[in-house]
Amino acid sequence: MPRIVLETVIHAPIRRIFDLSRSIDLHKISTAHTNEEAIAGTTSGLIGMGESVTWRAKHFGIWQRLTSEITAFDPPKYFVDEMKQGAFKGFRHEHIFEDRGGTTYMTDIFDYQSPYGIFGRMGDNLFLKKYMRGLLEERNRVIKEFAEDEDKFRLVLS
């Protein structure tokens, strides 16, 4: 099962970053290039424990739907979202936040399993893991941008 681990250093309070990371509205901003929209479940605001969201987005030229649910929640240190339905055989995304003297270290651990057996594993190696890493890096770049800029932060979470 492929694993992507990213650490992002953000100069903002841990609670702000925790909330931006579970903001449906900020997620839409970070995935604008895929025309991603929340179409069911929690479709705006902050998602919390036991809640789910269904996304519709275009990846690799194909419209897809993916439903994920928050399955673990320990504010402002940790939460997990897991796929319930979608193109993957499964995924689990851990979001870990650590305050180190006013600077927040945000760690993503993204484990996923592609469908289609050996063909899915070949796709992981050829392009999918790089594509998924890029999506996560862009998401984290947007979280950092909005967390470190008070005016932008207020646009999303006010």
The yes-or-no verdict on residue 14 having pLDDT over 80 is yes
Strand partners, 64: 57
Model-level pTM? Answer: 0.92
The yes-or-no verdict on residue 23 having pLDDT over 70 is yes
Whether 67 and 85 have beta carbons less than 8 Å apart is answered as: yes
* Other Cβ atoms within 10 Å of 80 Cβ, number: 18
Q: Which residues contact 122 (CB under 8 A, 6 or more apart)?
A: none
- At residue 121, the pLDDT reads 67
Categorize the per-residue pLDDT at 91 as very low, low, confident or very high, splitting at 50, 70 and 90.
very high
> Euclidean distance between the first and final Cα of the chain, in Å?
39
String of DSSP letters for 12-46: S-HHHHHHHHTBHHHHHHHTGGGT-EEEEES-SSB
Whether 99 and 79 have beta carbons less than 8 Å apart is answered as: no
Least confident among 39-53, 90-104, 123-137: 123-137
The yes-or-no verdict on residue 119 having pLDDT over 90 is no
Strand, coil or helix: 55: strand
The per-residue pLDDT of the chain, averaged, comes to: 92
Residue where the block lists tokens 């006013």: 102
Sign of CA dihedral 70, 71, 73, 78: negative
- At residue 60, the pLDDT reads 77
Categorize the per-residue pLDDT at 135 as very low, low, confident or very high, splitting at 50, 70 and 90.
very high
Categorize the per-residue pLDDT at 129 as very low, low, confident or very high, splitting at 50, 70 and 90.
confident
Whether 9 and 105 have beta carbons less than 8 Å apart is answered as: yes
- What structural domains and CATH numbers belong to the chain? 3-156 (3.30.530.20)
